[in-house]
Amino acid sequence: MSVTYTFKITLLETAPSENGLEHVVKTIHWKLFGTDGTNTAEVMGSVNVELPDPESFIDFMNLAESDVISWVEAKLQALDELDSIKQTLDSMLAQIDNPPITRPPLPWL
């Protein structure tokens, strides 16, 4: 089963100003979707980010979702959590097609 993973940023929490920078992203809330082509599963989470280098700071209004996703992926990899999250999605997808517990209709009804 080949799974495709896609991040979606759901919310950014910012500090109004910090170290002379404005609207500094502090917390990123995200969802990661996994799809096997038929079924989709999702997990959500958040990561805190460190104060950016003023030289590479991107103004809030110029942020692209791809910029923020790269920060999330880097943070999750640094925490050694990204592979585990993907394995969780893989397991969720496997259980959709082959659930460990089912609820069949009662045979006497």
Range of the domain at 64: 4-97
Classify residue 11 by its DSSP letter.
E
Residue 40 lies in a domain: yes
Residue 107 lies in a domain: no
Q: How many domains does the chain have?
A: 1
Tell me which residue has tokens 């460190």. Answer: 50
Residue 82 lies in a domain: yes
Task: Answer whether 0.85 is exceeded by the pTM.
Answer: yes
- Residues 75 and 63: their CA atoms lie apart, in Å, by 17
Residue 104 lies in a domain: no
Residue 75 lies in a domain: yes
10-residue mean pLDDT profile of the chain (109 residues): values are 93 94 96 96 96 90 96 96 96 89 89
Residue 102 lies in a domain: no
